Structure 1
Amino acid sequence: MSDTEYFDFFKGIVDSEEGPIVICNLDYRIVYANPAANTYYSTVSPLEGKLLESLMDEEMMSKVVMSVEWFKEDKKNNKVYALHDSKHNVDMYILAIRKHNEKLIGFYGRREDRNPDRGRQFDLD
């Protein structure tokens, strides 16, 4: 499979997620946001190209930096609980992105639903 085909598959996965996914490089710049993220953060979208520090308060940015530094400490450090969004009843996480050799190359934020009614098994209606 070519790199372009891999890219199309992985972008398709990220774009099909119902929850926001924001992907950043190690300079804390947003390199990609899926359509759900641009909707979720509509007041500041489009997100691509922006530095996180321009979108977050100092306390939250400090927590993101601490998370990324923790990812750098050990290849097993890959997921941090960030916050709970009570309005949407979801938890937000920061996750490491690593190359095949386990070198940290970036990180991303995504949500996990707390409400089991949102994710019914095989709900085809």
Structure 2
Amino acid sequence: MTDTELLDFFKGIIDSEEGPIVICNMDYRIIYENPAAIQYYAPASPLTGKLLETYMDDEMMSKVVMSVEWFKEDKNNNKVFALHDDHNNMDMYILAIRNSKSELIGFYGRREYRNPDEGKMFDLD
């Protein structure tokens, strides 16, 4: 499989996620937002290409920076619970992105809905 084909698979996974995913590089620049993020952050979209601090207050940005610094401390530090959004019943996580050498190359925010009762296992109809 070529790198291009593999990239298509990974992009397909990210784009199929129902929750918003925003990916940043180590300069805190947003390099990608999945379709759910485009919809969720519609008033501010497009986010891609902009600095994360453009959309966060100082307190939240400080927490993101602390999370990234924690990711740098150990290759096993990879996930931080950031907040719970009561209005949308979602949890927000910040996760490390590492290359094949376990070096930190970026991070992403992912929101997960807390609505397990709405889904039915293997509902294929």
TM category, shorter? over 0.9
Aligned residue in 1 for 2:44 = 44
What is the deviation of 1:103?
Answer: 0.2
- Aligned pair 1:77/2:106, yes or no? no
The AA in structure 2 aligned to 1:13 is: I
Aligned residue in 2 for 1:97 = 97
What is the deviation of 1:112?
Answer: 1.9
- 2 CA distance for matches of 1:107 and 1:11? 15
Q: Which runs of 5+ in 2 are unaligned?
A: none
Q: Counterpart of 2:111 in 1: which secondary structure? A: strand
TM-score normalised according to structure 2 size: 0.96
Output the aligned Cα RMSD.
0.9
TM-score normalised according to structure 1 size: 0.96
- 2 CA distance for matches of 1:73 and 1:91? 24
What is the deviation of 1:120?
Answer: 2.6
The AA in structure 2 aligned to 1:83 is: L
- Larger mean CA deviation between 16-25 and 105-114 belongs to 105-114
What is the deviation of 1:124?
Answer: 1.9
Aligned residue in 1 for 2:13 = 13
What is the deviation of 1:87?
Answer: 1.2
The AA in structure 1 aligned to 2:110 is: R
What is the deviation of 1:58?
Answer: 0.5
Aligned pairs, how many?
125
What is the deviation of 1:79?
Answer: 0.2
Aligned residue in 1 for 2:116 = 116
Encode CA deviations 1:67-99: one digit per residue, 9 max, x unaligned: 000000000000000111111101010000000
- 2 CA distance for matches of 1:122 and 1:22? 28
Aligned residue in 2 for 1:107 = 107
Aligned residue in 2 for 1:30 = 30
Q: Counterpart of 2:38 in 1: which secondary structure? A: helix
Q: Percent identity?
A: 75
- Larger mean CA deviation between 108-117 and 83-92 belongs to 108-117
Encode CA deviations 1:6-38: one digit per residue, 9 max, x unaligned: 110000110011110000000000000001001
